[in-house]
């Protein structure tokens, strides 16, 4: 084989590689919180000087499908917990961005966040906190029974924009996966436990850019616009004499009473009854209007203030992933953090972890039985303790009443004897 042929083969191989390369998916960052995780994550000192800094512990939680599958759990009530990890720099231009993680809210959270953040630029991880700029914030935020919000906040040119939709998160105490997918066409999908919960476009679901189209508020309905869906049938003509048909007629079955006296009662007239020939006011039959154009709506026109940004979906290069939450009651287990460009791989992770889903449910149900039994036992002990204290104080309602009655009896007898002696 000569050198020219070898060169052609080499060029062809390069071409094949160049065609295949863009299709190769990449896992940018994946964290299962196995041994050594603390070397990759930096706990922030944010709020430490105020005594409000929370902590994390490495655990699978109180119930788990796999006790060896551990995550990091918030461990301090009413504290700000912040931790972050540096990741290989990721630029999502012309690429799909997938952010996924799992969270298990073991506690009765009452009020607190369970979201995760992607950060760009340099971040002092020891000072990472609520005021640190981020590119994406995603995940649940719960407060009471009313607020069960799923946040999706995107940063654009230094300003944060929350999604306009009202999205709800899960609130039970089992593990749930949250997945956000952002594509180069600015479309997105939100998945919970591997199933799509919502989808749309950055152009319509965030107030980042002015809308492409706006209503033509000055538009008027054309004079010839036909918005009547049905019209009178022109071939249905009112019969001649229709309007002269009376509503009522004399009752043909009525007869003049034998006792009727015209001199005294006047001329007898039979009572009137509904006329069976009377059909009510005449109405023409309705037919479909052949010229019907539908209900007129104010049209949309191009918005003169709209200026497209083909890179609307592009974030500043992602360099860090962080968890920064405040919770009234701690106990949220974060795990399975994934940043990649392949949604199918993210689904595989969900399926892998959920292979033990039933085991986790059973462990949770068993833990609930134990908890309820313990609470009932404690309540019973409290009731028994209350009764014991009453007995120790000698408190008996019947004896208490009798003692008061005897005292009044003695007093009444004493008063009577005093009156007797006075009389003597």
CATH number of the structural domain spanning residue 193: 2.60.120.200
Domain assignment present for 418: yes
56-59 and 300-302 beta bridge pairing: unpaired
* Residue 102 Rama label (left phi>0; alpha psi -120 to 50; beta): beta
Provide DSSP, 337-369: EEEES-HHHHHHHHHHHGGGHHHHHHHHHHHHH
Domain assignment present for 376: yes
**Do 348 and 380 belong to one domain?**
no
Domain assignment present for 288: no
**For residue range 171-230, what is the model confidence (pLDDT) as tens digits?**
999 999 999 999 999 999 999 999 999 999 999 999 999 999 999 999 999 999 999 999
**Do 318 and 417 belong to one domain?**
no
| 117 known member of a binding site | yes
**Do 403 and 333 belong to one domain?**
no
* Three-state SS at 414: helix
- Three-state SS string over 207-274 comes to CCCCCCEEECCCCCCCCCCCCCCEEECCCCCCCCCHHHCCCEEECCCCCCCCCCCHHHHCCCCCCEEE
**For residue range 46-68, what is the model confidence (pLDDT) as tens digits?**
999 999 999 999 999 999 989 99
| 269 known member of a binding site | no
| 406 known member of a binding site | no
Q: Are 177 and 191 in contact (CB under 8 A)?
A: yes
Q: Are 98 and 338 in contact (CB under 8 A)?
A: yes
Domain assignment present for 6: no
**Do 118 and 167 belong to one domain?**
yes
| 134 known member of a binding site | yes
| 141 known member of a binding site | yes
Residue-number span of the structural domain to which 35 is assigned: 23-206+314-355
**For residue range 332-362, what is the model confidence (pLDDT) as tens digits?**
999 999 999 999 999 999 999 999 999 999 9
Band (pLDDT 50/70/90 cuts) for residue 394 is: confident
Domain assignment present for 100: yes
Band (pLDDT 50/70/90 cuts) for residue 424 is: very low
**Do 180 and 131 belong to one domain?**
yes
**Do 346 and 378 belong to one domain?**
no
**Do 57 and 84 belong to one domain?**
yes
* Three-state SS at 19: helix
Q: Domain count of the chain?
A: 2
**Do 94 and 178 belong to one domain?**
yes
Closest CA to 66 of 370, 366, 337, 354: 354
Domain assignment present for 276: no
Domain assignment present for 281: no
Last residue of one domain, picked from the residues 297, 329, 355: 355
- The predicted model scores a pTM of 0.73
**Do 332 and 418 belong to one domain?**
no
Domain assignment present for 350: yes
């Amino acid at each position: 084989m000569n050198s020219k042929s070898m060169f052609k083969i080499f060029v062809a191989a390069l071409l094949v590689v160049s065609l295949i390369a863009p299709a190769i998916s990449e896992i940018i960052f994946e964290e299962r919180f196995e041994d050594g995780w603390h070397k990759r994550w930096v706990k922030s000192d944010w709020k430490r000087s105020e005594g409000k800094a929370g902590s994390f512990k490495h655990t699978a939680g109180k119930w788990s499908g796999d006790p060896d599958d551990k995550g990091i759990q918030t461990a301090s009530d009413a504290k700000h917990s912040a931790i972050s990890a540096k990741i290989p720099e990721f630029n999502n231009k012309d690429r799909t961005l997938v952010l996924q993680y799992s969270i298990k809210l073991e506690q009765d959270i009452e009020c607190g966040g369970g979201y995760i953040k992607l950060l760009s630029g340099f971040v002092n991880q020891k000072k990472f906190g609520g005021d640190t700029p981020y590119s994406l914030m995603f995940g649940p935020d719960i407060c009471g029974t009313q607020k069960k919000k799923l946040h999706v906040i995107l940063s654009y040119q230094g300003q944060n924009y929350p999604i306009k939709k009202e999205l709800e998160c899960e609130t039970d105490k089992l593990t749930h996966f949250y997945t956000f997918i952002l594509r180069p066409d600015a479309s997105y999908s939100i998945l919970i436990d591997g199933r799509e919960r919502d989808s749309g476009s950055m152009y319509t679901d965030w107030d980042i850019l002015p809308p492409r189209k706006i209503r033509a508020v000055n538009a008027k309905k054309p004079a010839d616009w036909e918005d009547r869906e049905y019209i009178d049938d022109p071939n249905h003509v009112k019969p001649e004499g229709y309007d002269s048909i009376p509503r009522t007629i004399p009752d043909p079955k009525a007869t003049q009473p034998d006792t009727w006296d015209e001199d005294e009662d006047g001329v007898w007239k039979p009572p009137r009854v509904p006329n069976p020939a009377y059909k009510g006011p005449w109405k023409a039959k309705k037919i479909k209007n052949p010229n019907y154009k539908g209900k007129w709506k104010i049209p949309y026109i191009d918005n003169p203030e709209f200026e497209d940004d083909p890179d609307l979906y592009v974030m500043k290069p992602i360099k860090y992933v962080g968890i920064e939450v405040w919770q009234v009651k701690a106990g949220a287990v974060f795990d399975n953090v994934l940043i990649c460009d392949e949604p199918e791989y993210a689904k595989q992770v969900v399926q892998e972890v959920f292979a033990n889903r039933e085991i986790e449910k059973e462990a949770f149900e068993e833990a609930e039985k134990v908890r309820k039994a313990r609470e009932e036992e404690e309540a019973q002990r409290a009731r028994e303790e209350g009764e014991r204290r009453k007995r120790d104080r000698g408190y008996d309602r019947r004896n208490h009443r009798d003692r008061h009655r005897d005292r009044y009896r003695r007093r009444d007898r004493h008063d009577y004897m005093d009156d007797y002696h006075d009389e003597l």
